[in-house]
Protein backbone atom coordinates (compact mmCIF):
# COMPACT_ATOMS: atom_id res chain seq x y z
CA UNK A 1 0.00 0.00 0.00
CA UNK A 2 2.94 2.35 -0.39
CA UNK A 3 1.44 3.69 -3.50
CA UNK A 4 -1.92 4.97 -2.56
CA UNK A 5 -2.33 5.99 -6.20
CA UNK A 6 -5.81 5.73 -7.56
CA UNK A 7 -7.76 2.51 -7.52
CA UNK A 8 -7.37 1.54 -3.90
CA UNK A 9 -10.23 -0.85 -3.99
CA UNK A 10 -9.95 -4.20 -5.66
CA UNK A 11 -13.38 -4.55 -7.16
CA UNK A 12 -15.95 -2.26 -8.63
CA UNK A 13 -18.42 -2.68 -5.84
CA UNK A 14 -15.60 -2.58 -3.32
CA UNK A 15 -15.44 1.19 -3.11
CA UNK A 16 -19.19 1.46 -2.94
CA UNK A 17 -19.37 -1.19 -0.23
CA UNK A 18 -16.72 0.67 1.69
CA UNK A 19 -18.84 3.81 1.48
CA UNK A 20 -21.74 1.82 2.88
CA UNK A 21 -19.43 0.43 5.55
CA UNK A 22 -18.51 3.97 6.47
CA UNK A 23 -22.12 5.05 6.76
CA UNK A 24 -23.29 2.05 8.74
CA UNK A 25 -21.71 2.16 12.15
CA UNK A 26 -22.23 3.29 15.67
CA UNK A 27 -24.22 6.20 14.32
CA UNK A 28 -27.08 3.84 13.48
CA UNK A 29 -27.08 1.46 16.40
CA UNK A 30 -25.70 3.65 19.18
CA UNK A 31 -26.21 7.35 18.33
CA UNK A 32 -29.55 7.25 16.52
CA UNK A 33 -31.47 5.59 19.38
CA UNK A 34 -30.07 7.88 22.04
CA UNK A 35 -30.61 11.05 20.03
CA UNK A 36 -34.14 9.89 19.22
CA UNK A 37 -34.70 9.08 22.88
CA UNK A 38 -33.36 12.43 24.06
CA UNK A 39 -35.42 14.34 21.49
CA UNK A 40 -38.85 12.92 22.09
CA UNK A 41 -39.06 9.91 19.75
CA UNK A 42 -41.19 9.78 16.62
CA UNK A 43 -41.26 13.52 15.91
CA UNK A 44 -37.48 13.44 15.80
CA UNK A 45 -37.65 10.52 13.40
CA UNK A 46 -39.87 12.50 11.01
CA UNK A 47 -37.44 15.44 11.02
CA UNK A 48 -34.54 13.06 10.61
CA UNK A 49 -36.11 11.47 7.54
CA UNK A 50 -36.75 14.91 6.06
CA UNK A 51 -33.09 15.81 6.60
CA UNK A 52 -31.93 12.58 4.95
CA UNK A 53 -34.05 13.27 1.86
CA UNK A 54 -33.61 17.02 1.48
CA UNK A 55 -30.05 17.39 2.71
CA UNK A 56 -28.44 13.97 3.01
CA UNK A 57 -28.91 12.34 -0.38
CA UNK A 58 -28.20 15.44 -2.52
CA UNK A 59 -25.06 16.17 -0.50
CA UNK A 60 -23.89 12.62 -0.79
CA UNK A 61 -24.20 12.87 -4.56
CA UNK A 62 -22.31 16.19 -4.46
CA UNK A 63 -19.46 14.68 -2.44
CA UNK A 64 -19.31 11.70 -4.76
CA UNK A 65 -19.13 14.05 -7.74
CA UNK A 66 -16.31 16.12 -6.24
CA UNK A 67 -14.35 13.01 -5.31
CA UNK A 68 -14.72 11.14 -8.57
CA UNK A 69 -14.17 14.18 -10.73
CA UNK A 70 -10.99 15.29 -8.97
CA UNK A 71 -9.62 11.86 -8.11
CA UNK A 72 -7.66 13.58 -5.36
CA UNK A 73 -7.65 13.95 -1.61
CA UNK A 74 -10.18 16.34 -0.17
CA UNK A 75 -7.83 19.24 0.28
CA UNK A 76 -6.70 19.17 -3.31
CA UNK A 77 -10.07 18.24 -4.78
CA UNK A 78 -11.68 21.65 -4.42
CA UNK A 79 -8.87 23.72 -6.02
CA UNK A 80 -8.64 21.12 -8.77
CA UNK A 81 -12.28 21.77 -9.56
CA UNK A 82 -11.75 25.49 -9.71
CA UNK A 83 -12.04 26.64 -6.09
CA UNK A 84 -10.26 29.88 -5.31
CA UNK A 85 -9.89 31.98 -2.18
CA UNK A 86 -11.54 30.55 0.90
CA UNK A 87 -13.34 27.89 -1.12
CA UNK A 88 -10.04 26.09 -1.35
CA UNK A 89 -10.29 25.23 2.33
CA UNK A 90 -13.70 23.58 2.29
CA UNK A 91 -12.12 20.16 1.85
CA UNK A 92 -9.74 20.82 4.67
CA UNK A 93 -12.56 21.80 7.02
CA UNK A 94 -14.33 18.55 6.18
CA UNK A 95 -11.28 16.40 6.81
CA UNK A 96 -10.62 18.19 10.09
CA UNK A 97 -14.18 17.47 11.21
CA UNK A 98 -13.89 13.78 10.43
CA UNK A 99 -10.64 13.59 12.26
CA UNK A 100 -12.17 15.27 15.34
CA UNK A 101 -15.05 12.80 15.22
CA UNK A 102 -12.55 9.98 15.28
CA UNK A 103 -11.22 11.33 18.60
CA UNK A 104 -14.41 10.39 20.41
CA UNK A 105 -15.59 7.66 18.05
CA UNK A 106 -12.68 5.50 19.23
CA UNK A 107 -13.98 5.78 22.79
CA UNK A 108 -17.32 4.21 21.87
CA UNK A 109 -15.56 1.77 19.57
CA UNK A 110 -13.64 0.74 22.66
CA UNK A 111 -16.87 0.16 24.58
CA UNK A 112 -18.01 -2.22 21.87
CA UNK A 113 -14.77 -4.19 22.24
CA UNK A 114 -15.27 -4.40 26.00
CA UNK A 115 -18.76 -5.79 25.36
CA UNK A 116 -17.39 -8.33 22.90
CA UNK A 117 -14.93 -9.51 25.52
CA UNK A 118 -17.37 -9.54 28.36
CA UNK A 119 -19.96 -11.37 26.24
CA UNK A 120 -17.28 -13.89 25.34
CA UNK A 121 -16.42 -14.44 28.99
CA UNK A 122 -20.13 -14.87 29.75
CA UNK A 123 -19.95 -11.76 31.88
CA UNK A 124 -23.38 -10.53 30.81
CA UNK A 125 -25.31 -13.56 32.01
CA UNK A 126 -27.45 -13.82 35.16
CA UNK A 127 -27.85 -10.11 35.78
CA UNK A 128 -30.73 -7.80 36.54
CA UNK A 129 -31.46 -4.62 34.52
CA UNK A 130 -30.00 -2.60 37.41
CA UNK A 131 -26.79 -4.62 37.23
CA UNK A 132 -26.36 -3.72 33.56
CA UNK A 133 -26.76 -0.03 34.37
CA UNK A 134 -24.33 -0.21 37.28
CA UNK A 135 -21.79 -2.27 35.31
CA UNK A 136 -21.78 0.16 32.42
CA UNK A 137 -21.39 3.26 34.60
CA UNK A 138 -18.59 1.73 36.60
CA UNK A 139 -16.87 0.63 33.38
CA UNK A 140 -16.88 3.99 31.64
CA UNK A 141 -15.90 5.90 34.75
CA UNK A 142 -13.00 3.57 35.49
CA UNK A 143 -9.82 5.60 34.91
CA UNK A 144 -7.85 2.77 33.31
CA UNK A 145 -9.95 0.13 31.60
CA UNK A 146 -11.65 2.26 28.92
CA UNK A 147 -8.30 3.80 28.07
CA UNK A 148 -6.90 0.39 27.23
CA UNK A 149 -9.79 0.00 24.82
CA UNK A 150 -9.14 3.41 23.31
CA UNK A 151 -5.58 2.27 22.59
CA UNK A 152 -6.86 -1.00 21.22
CA UNK A 153 -9.42 0.68 18.95
CA UNK A 154 -6.89 3.11 17.60
CA UNK A 155 -4.35 0.32 17.13
CA UNK A 156 -6.75 -1.85 15.16
CA UNK A 157 -8.00 1.05 13.04
CA UNK A 158 -4.48 2.17 12.29
CA UNK A 159 -3.45 -1.41 11.56
CA UNK A 160 -6.13 -1.81 8.92
CA UNK A 161 -5.39 1.56 7.31
CA UNK A 162 -1.71 0.62 7.22
CA UNK A 163 -2.27 -2.86 5.89
CA UNK A 164 -4.36 -1.57 3.09
CA UNK A 165 -8.03 -1.11 2.96
CA UNK A 166 -8.71 -3.32 -0.03
CA UNK A 167 -8.99 -7.00 0.66
CA UNK A 168 -9.64 -7.03 4.39
CA UNK A 169 -12.30 -4.40 4.60
CA UNK A 170 -13.85 -5.23 1.29
CA UNK A 171 -14.19 -8.89 2.01
CA UNK A 172 -15.20 -8.38 5.59
CA UNK A 173 -17.87 -5.83 4.63
CA UNK A 174 -19.36 -8.20 2.10
CA UNK A 175 -19.91 -10.90 4.70
CA UNK A 176 -20.45 -8.91 7.83
CA UNK A 177 -22.85 -6.24 6.74
CA UNK A 178 -25.51 -8.75 5.62
CA UNK A 179 -24.93 -10.73 8.82
CA UNK A 180 -25.39 -7.65 10.96
CA UNK A 181 -28.60 -6.95 9.11
CA UNK A 182 -29.98 -10.44 9.76
CA UNK A 183 -29.04 -10.22 13.43
CA UNK A 184 -30.76 -6.90 13.74
CA UNK A 185 -33.94 -8.35 12.21
CA UNK A 186 -33.94 -11.26 14.65
CA UNK A 187 -33.35 -8.91 17.55
CA UNK A 188 -36.23 -6.69 16.48
CA UNK A 189 -38.43 -9.79 16.70
CA UNK A 190 -37.10 -10.61 20.17
CA UNK A 191 -37.47 -7.11 21.43
CA UNK A 192 -41.03 -6.80 20.14
CA UNK A 193 -41.98 -9.98 21.96
CA UNK A 194 -40.98 -8.60 25.36
CA UNK A 195 -43.83 -7.59 27.70
CA UNK A 196 -44.82 -3.92 27.34
CA UNK A 197 -42.89 -3.60 24.08
CA UNK A 198 -45.64 -1.72 22.25
CA UNK A 199 -45.05 1.43 24.27
CA UNK A 200 -41.58 1.56 22.75
CA UNK A 201 -42.95 1.11 19.24
CA UNK A 202 -45.38 3.93 19.86
CA UNK A 203 -42.56 6.13 21.13
CA UNK A 204 -40.67 5.58 17.89
CA UNK A 205 -43.50 5.63 15.39
CA UNK A 206 -46.28 7.83 16.75
CA UNK A 207 -45.12 11.43 16.45
CA UNK A 208 -46.02 14.04 19.03
CA UNK A 209 -44.98 17.32 17.44
CA UNK A 210 -45.56 19.26 20.63
CA UNK A 211 -42.24 17.80 21.76
CA UNK A 212 -40.32 19.48 18.93
CA UNK A 213 -38.08 22.32 20.07
CA UNK A 214 -35.48 24.37 18.22
CA UNK A 215 -32.73 21.96 19.16
CA UNK A 216 -34.71 18.99 17.80
CA UNK A 217 -34.13 20.33 14.27
CA UNK A 218 -30.42 20.72 14.86
CA UNK A 219 -30.19 17.28 16.44
CA UNK A 220 -32.02 15.68 13.49
CA UNK A 221 -29.77 17.40 10.96
CA UNK A 222 -26.62 16.54 12.92
CA UNK A 223 -27.70 12.91 13.12
CA UNK A 224 -28.34 12.77 9.37
CA UNK A 225 -24.86 14.14 8.67
CA UNK A 226 -23.23 11.85 11.18
CA UNK A 227 -25.01 8.70 10.16
CA UNK A 228 -24.59 9.17 6.42
CA UNK A 229 -20.92 10.16 6.88
CA UNK A 230 -21.40 13.39 5.00
CA UNK A 231 -19.67 16.74 5.54
CA UNK A 232 -16.35 15.22 6.49
CA UNK A 233 -14.67 14.29 3.26
CA UNK A 234 -14.88 10.58 3.69
CA UNK A 235 -17.36 9.91 0.89
CA UNK A 236 -15.42 12.32 -1.27
CA UNK A 237 -12.22 10.44 -0.58
CA UNK A 238 -13.82 7.06 -1.26
CA UNK A 239 -15.48 8.38 -4.40
CA UNK A 240 -12.06 9.32 -5.72
CA UNK A 241 -11.63 5.55 -6.09
CA UNK A 242 -15.04 4.95 -7.66
CA UNK A 243 -15.08 3.52 -11.19
CA UNK A 244 -16.28 5.82 -13.97
CA UNK A 245 -19.45 3.89 -14.53
CA UNK A 246 -20.58 3.88 -10.89
CA UNK A 247 -24.04 5.39 -10.69
CA UNK A 248 -23.74 8.19 -8.15
CA UNK A 249 -27.47 8.72 -7.62
CA UNK A 250 -28.21 5.02 -7.40
CA UNK A 251 -25.45 4.51 -4.87
CA UNK A 252 -26.49 7.48 -2.78
CA UNK A 253 -30.10 6.25 -2.67
CA UNK A 254 -29.05 2.74 -1.75
CA UNK A 255 -26.59 3.75 0.92
CA UNK A 256 -28.94 6.30 2.49
CA UNK A 257 -31.81 3.80 2.33
CA UNK A 258 -29.93 0.96 4.00
CA UNK A 259 -28.43 3.30 6.56
CA UNK A 260 -31.81 4.70 7.51
CA UNK A 261 -33.40 1.26 7.61
CA UNK A 262 -30.73 0.01 10.00
CA UNK A 263 -31.19 3.06 12.22
CA UNK A 264 -34.95 2.55 12.41
CA UNK A 265 -34.56 -1.17 13.06
CA UNK A 266 -32.08 -0.37 15.82
CA UNK A 267 -34.70 1.90 17.32
CA UNK A 268 -37.15 -0.98 17.13
CA UNK A 269 -34.73 -3.09 19.16
CA UNK A 270 -33.82 -0.50 21.74
CA UNK A 271 -37.08 1.29 22.58
CA UNK A 272 -39.39 -1.71 23.07
CA UNK A 273 -36.69 -3.29 25.21
CA UNK A 274 -36.06 -0.10 27.15
CA UNK A 275 -39.75 0.32 27.95
CA UNK A 276 -40.06 -3.33 28.80
CA UNK A 277 -37.37 -3.20 31.48
CA UNK A 278 -38.19 0.32 32.62
CA UNK A 279 -35.16 2.19 31.27
CA UNK A 280 -35.61 5.83 30.30
CA UNK A 281 -35.42 6.25 26.49
CA UNK A 282 -33.55 9.52 27.07
CA UNK A 283 -30.74 7.78 28.94
CA UNK A 284 -28.13 9.16 26.52
CA UNK A 285 -24.97 7.50 25.21
CA UNK A 286 -25.31 4.56 27.60
CA UNK A 287 -28.71 3.52 26.22
CA UNK A 288 -27.60 0.80 23.83
CA UNK A 289 -25.05 -0.70 26.16
CA UNK A 290 -27.60 -1.14 28.91
CA UNK A 291 -30.70 -2.19 27.00
CA UNK A 292 -29.09 -4.65 24.60
CA UNK A 293 -27.80 -7.13 27.19
CA UNK A 294 -31.30 -7.03 28.63
CA UNK A 295 -32.78 -8.00 25.28
CA UNK A 296 -30.41 -10.92 24.88
CA UNK A 297 -30.86 -12.35 28.31
CA UNK A 298 -34.55 -11.68 28.73
CA UNK A 299 -35.55 -12.90 25.29
CA UNK A 300 -33.42 -16.04 25.40
CA UNK A 301 -33.25 -16.43 29.18
CA UNK A 302 -34.47 -20.00 29.08
CA UNK A 303 -31.82 -21.02 26.54
CA UNK A 304 -28.59 -19.58 27.99
CA UNK A 305 -26.28 -20.72 25.21
CA UNK A 306 -28.44 -18.94 22.64
CA UNK A 307 -28.30 -15.72 24.64
CA UNK A 308 -24.55 -16.16 24.90
CA UNK A 309 -24.10 -16.71 21.17
CA UNK A 310 -26.36 -13.84 20.28
CA UNK A 311 -24.72 -11.27 22.47
CA UNK A 312 -21.24 -12.34 21.41
CA UNK A 313 -22.06 -12.26 17.71
CA UNK A 314 -23.96 -9.02 17.93
CA UNK A 315 -21.24 -7.07 19.72
CA UNK A 316 -18.68 -8.56 17.38
CA UNK A 317 -20.58 -7.30 14.37
CA UNK A 318 -21.17 -3.94 16.01
CA UNK A 319 -17.45 -3.63 16.70
CA UNK A 320 -16.81 -4.47 13.04
CA UNK A 321 -19.32 -1.88 11.85
CA UNK A 322 -17.58 0.64 14.10
CA UNK A 323 -14.23 -0.35 12.64
CA UNK A 324 -15.27 0.18 9.02
CA UNK A 325 -16.51 3.66 10.01
CA UNK A 326 -13.40 4.47 12.04
CA UNK A 327 -11.23 3.55 9.08
CA UNK A 328 -13.22 5.88 6.90
CA UNK A 329 -12.57 8.61 9.45
CA UNK A 330 -8.83 8.07 9.48
CA UNK A 331 -8.39 7.54 5.75
CA UNK A 332 -9.09 11.13 4.55
CA UNK A 333 -6.57 12.67 6.98
CA UNK A 334 -3.98 10.03 6.10
CA UNK A 335 -4.47 10.55 2.38
CA UNK A 336 -4.32 14.32 2.79
CA UNK A 337 -1.04 14.25 4.70
CA UNK A 338 0.43 11.65 2.35
CA UNK A 339 -0.44 13.46 -0.86
CA UNK A 340 0.35 16.95 0.38
CA UNK A 341 3.60 16.31 2.25
CA UNK A 342 4.83 13.31 0.25
CA UNK A 343 5.57 11.58 3.51
CA UNK A 344 5.25 7.84 3.22
CA UNK A 345 1.75 6.58 3.73
CA UNK A 346 2.83 4.79 6.89
CA UNK A 347 4.15 7.98 8.47
CA UNK A 348 1.16 9.93 7.31
CA UNK A 349 -1.18 7.49 9.02
CA UNK A 350 0.87 7.63 12.22
CA UNK A 351 0.93 11.41 12.13
CA UNK A 352 -2.82 11.53 11.71
CA UNK A 353 -3.29 9.05 14.55
CA UNK A 354 -1.01 10.41 17.28
CA UNK A 355 -3.19 13.34 18.33
CA UNK A 356 -6.27 11.09 18.21
CA UNK A 357 -4.68 9.09 20.98
CA UNK A 358 -4.35 12.18 23.12
CA UNK A 359 -7.86 13.50 22.53
CA UNK A 360 -9.32 10.00 22.64
CA UNK A 361 -7.89 9.48 26.11
CA UNK A 362 -9.15 12.89 27.23
CA UNK A 363 -12.64 12.18 25.85
CA UNK A 364 -12.70 8.83 27.56
CA UNK A 365 -11.65 10.29 30.91
CA UNK A 366 -14.29 12.98 30.54
CA UNK A 367 -16.92 10.26 30.92
CA UNK A 368 -15.46 9.39 34.31
CA UNK A 369 -12.95 11.15 36.51
CA UNK A 370 -12.88 14.31 34.39
CA UNK A 371 -16.65 14.57 34.16
CA UNK A 372 -16.71 17.67 36.35
CA UNK A 373 -14.73 19.71 33.82
CA UNK A 374 -17.37 21.25 31.65
CA UNK A 375 -17.55 23.84 28.89
CA UNK A 376 -20.98 25.22 27.92
CA UNK A 377 -22.37 22.61 30.32
CA UNK A 378 -20.85 19.70 28.39
CA UNK A 379 -18.00 17.37 29.22
CA UNK A 380 -15.28 16.97 26.61
CA UNK A 381 -16.89 13.91 25.00
CA UNK A 382 -20.23 15.69 24.55
CA UNK A 383 -18.49 18.86 23.46
CA UNK A 384 -16.62 17.03 20.68
CA UNK A 385 -19.84 15.35 19.62
CA UNK A 386 -21.84 18.58 19.67
CA UNK A 387 -19.27 20.72 17.86
CA UNK A 388 -18.56 18.21 15.13
CA UNK A 389 -21.96 16.68 14.43
CA UNK A 390 -24.13 19.71 15.00
CA UNK A 391 -21.90 22.55 13.81
CA UNK A 392 -18.90 21.49 11.75
CA UNK A 393 -20.52 18.74 9.67
CA UNK A 394 -23.45 20.92 8.61
CA UNK A 395 -21.06 23.80 7.84
CA UNK A 396 -18.86 21.52 5.73
CA UNK A 397 -22.00 20.30 3.98
CA UNK A 398 -23.27 23.82 3.41
CA UNK A 399 -20.03 24.94 1.81
CA UNK A 400 -19.79 21.78 -0.27
CA UNK A 401 -23.31 22.33 -1.58
CA UNK A 402 -22.67 25.99 -2.37
CA UNK A 403 -19.44 25.11 -4.12
CA UNK A 404 -20.92 22.31 -6.19
CA UNK A 405 -24.08 24.29 -6.98
CA UNK A 406 -22.58 27.66 -7.79
CA UNK A 407 -18.85 27.35 -8.42
CA UNK A 408 -18.12 23.97 -9.95
CA UNK A 409 -18.14 23.76 -13.71
CA UNK A 410 -21.66 22.81 -14.73
CA UNK A 411 -20.59 20.50 -17.50
CA UNK A 412 -18.22 18.65 -15.21
CA UNK A 413 -20.94 18.24 -12.61
CA UNK A 414 -23.45 17.08 -15.19
CA UNK A 415 -21.08 14.52 -16.61
CA UNK A 416 -20.54 13.10 -13.12
CA UNK A 417 -24.13 12.96 -11.98
CA UNK A 418 -25.98 12.21 -15.20
CA UNK A 419 -24.89 8.57 -15.24
CA UNK A 420 -23.81 8.57 -18.89
CA UNK A 421 -26.78 10.75 -19.77
CA UNK A 422 -29.29 8.19 -18.61
CA UNK A 423 -30.65 10.26 -15.77
CA UNK A 424 -33.96 11.95 -16.67
CA UNK A 425 -33.87 15.72 -17.10
CA UNK A 426 -36.49 16.37 -14.42
CA UNK A 427 -34.39 14.62 -11.82
CA UNK A 428 -31.37 16.70 -12.75
CA UNK A 429 -33.46 19.85 -12.52
CA UNK A 430 -34.74 18.89 -9.08
CA UNK A 431 -31.18 18.13 -8.08
CA UNK A 432 -29.91 21.53 -9.17
CA UNK A 433 -32.58 23.38 -7.27
CA UNK A 434 -31.96 21.29 -4.18
CA UNK A 435 -28.20 21.69 -4.14
CA UNK A 436 -28.15 25.36 -5.15
CA UNK A 437 -30.97 26.77 -3.10
CA UNK A 438 -33.13 24.50 -1.00
CA UNK A 439 -30.40 22.58 0.79
CA UNK A 440 -28.29 25.62 1.76
CA UNK A 441 -31.41 27.46 2.91
CA UNK A 442 -32.51 24.47 4.98
CA UNK A 443 -29.15 24.26 6.74
CA UNK A 444 -29.06 28.01 7.38
CA UNK A 445 -32.67 27.99 8.62
CA UNK A 446 -31.90 25.22 11.10
CA UNK A 447 -28.89 27.15 12.40
CA UNK A 448 -30.84 30.40 12.74
CA UNK A 449 -33.68 28.52 14.36
CA UNK A 450 -31.26 27.12 16.92
CA UNK A 451 -29.86 30.58 17.61
CA UNK A 452 -33.38 31.82 18.18
CA UNK A 453 -33.35 34.30 15.31
CA UNK A 454 -36.65 32.86 14.17
CA UNK A 455 -38.77 29.84 14.83
CA UNK A 456 -39.41 27.04 12.35
N1 LIG B 1 -21.47 7.22 9.68
C2 LIG B 1 -20.72 6.56 10.69
C3 LIG B 1 -21.67 5.91 11.65
O4 LIG B 1 -22.85 5.95 11.47
C5 LIG B 1 -19.81 7.46 11.45
C6 LIG B 1 -19.05 8.38 10.61
C7 LIG B 1 -19.32 9.72 10.69
C8 LIG B 1 -18.15 7.88 9.70
C9 LIG B 1 -18.69 10.60 9.87
C10 LIG B 1 -17.52 8.74 8.88
C11 LIG B 1 -17.80 10.08 8.95
O12 LIG B 1 -21.27 5.35 12.64
Of residues 61 and 165, more confidently modeled:
61
Tell me, in angstroms, the distance from the centre of ligand 1 to residue 324's CA: 9
pLDDT 10s digits, 67-84: 999 988 888 899 999 888
353: Cβ below 6 Å to ligand 1? no
329: Cβ below 6 Å to ligand 1? yes
Question: Residue 167: what pLDDT?
Answer: 62
pLDDT 10s digits, 107-132: 999 999 999 999 999 888 888 888 98
pLDDT 10s digits, 321-370: 898 889 888 888 888 898 889 899 889 999 999 999 999 999 999 988 88
pTM: 0.89
Question: Residue 108: what pLDDT?
Answer: 93
Please give the number of the atom of ligand 1 that sits closest to the Cα of 259: 4
Please give the number of the atom of ligand 1 that sits closest to the Cα of 23: 1
227: Cβ below 6 Å to ligand 1? yes
Question: Residue 290: what pLDDT?
Answer: 87
Tell me, in angstroms, the distance from the centre of ligand 1 to residue 238's CA: 13
Question: Residue 166: what pLDDT?
Answer: 62
191: Cβ below 6 Å to ligand 1? no
Mean pLDDT of 428-447: 94
Per cent of the chain over pLDDT 90 is: 49
Instruction: Give a three-class secondary structure readout of the chain.
Output: CCCCCCCCCCCHHHHHHHHHHHHCCHHHHHHHHHHHHHCCCHHHHHHHHHHHHHHHHHHHHHHHHHHHHHCCCHHHHHHHCCCCHHHHHHHHHHHHHHHHHHHHHHHHHHHHHHHHHHHHCCCCCCCCHHHHHHHHHHHHHCCCHHHHHHHHHHHHHHHHHHHCCHHHHHHHHHHHHHHHHHHHHHHHHHHHCCCCCHHHHHHHHCCCHHHCCHHHHHHHHHHHHHHHCCCCCHHHHHHCCCCCCCCHHHHHHHHHHHHHHHHHHHHHHHHHHHHHHCCCCCCHHHHHHHHHHHHHHHHCCCCHHHHHHHHHHHHHHHHHHHHHHHHHHHHHHHHHHHHHHCCCHHHHHHHHHHHHHHHHHHHHHCCCCCCCCCECCECHHHHHHHHHHHHHHHHHHHHHHHHHHHHCCHHHHHHHHCCCCCCCHHHHHHHHHHHHHHHHHHHHHHHHHHHCCCCC
Tell me, in angstroms, the distance from the centre of ligand 1 to residue 393's CA: 11
Tell me, in angstroms, the distance from the centre of ligand 1 to residue 410's CA: 29
- Protein residue whose Cα sits closest to atom 6 of ligand 1: 229
Tell me, in angstroms, the distance from the centre of ligand 1 to residue 219's CA: 15
324: Cβ below 6 Å to ligand 1? no
Tell me, in angstroms, the distance from the centre of ligand 1 to residue 22's CA: 6
Amino acid sequence: MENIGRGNFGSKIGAVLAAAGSAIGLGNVWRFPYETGANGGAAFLVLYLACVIIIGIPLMVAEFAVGRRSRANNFRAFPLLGATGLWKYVGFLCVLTGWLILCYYVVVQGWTIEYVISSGANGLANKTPDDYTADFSSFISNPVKPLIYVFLSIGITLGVVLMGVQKGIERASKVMMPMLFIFILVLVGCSLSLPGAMKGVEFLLNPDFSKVTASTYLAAMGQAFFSLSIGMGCLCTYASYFPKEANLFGNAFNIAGIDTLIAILSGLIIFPAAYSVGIEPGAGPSLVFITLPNVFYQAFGSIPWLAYMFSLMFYLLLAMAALTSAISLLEPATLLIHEETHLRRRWSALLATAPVLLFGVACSLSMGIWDEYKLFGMNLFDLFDFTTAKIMLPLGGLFTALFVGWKMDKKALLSEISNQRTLPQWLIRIYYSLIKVILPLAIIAIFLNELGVFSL
